[in-house]
Amino acid sequence: MADEKNVTLEQFKGFMTKADERLDKLEVGKENKVSPVSITIPTEGWASEEIGETDEEGTEASYPFYYDIAAADVTAKHRADVTISRESLDAATVCGLCPTSETTEGKIRLRAMKAPTEAITAEYWLRNGKE
């Protein structure tokens, strides 16, 4: 059986006010609330690394072509989820677009086996990564 607690009406009102304030904060400022950013990945502006070269992390370039999306608020601690539009899936498949992305200061890097021959439409979402 639970212990009995005597709570005055004023204390109960105080508890309810605090609970209501906490619920308001959850509704208004949800953690990691993100909005998608629409992008077009062009056919020009791609750079390449020779296969056998190493990239910035020292790993072999298995996806030798890359394109950097300028995104001012991005840091290396962010994670970018990139989703290709249904209309551009064939173009992404043909160029061998890598299913993952990289983030560095001010940019999101996409990689591919070769530069695309037609523009690819997509969206990205930024999430805070781990420290």
Average of per-residue pLDDT across 16-26:
75
Rounded Cα distance between 46 and 68, Å, is 8
* Closest CA relative to residue 84, chosen from 45, 124, 112: 124
* Residue 33: per-residue pLDDT: 60
Residue 27 confidence class, pLDDT cut points 50, 70, 90: low
Rg (the chain; Cα; Å): 24
pTM value? 0.67
Output the average pLDDT for the chain: 84
Average of per-residue pLDDT across 113-129:
93
* Closest CA relative to residue 78, chosen from 130, 124, 36, 30: 130
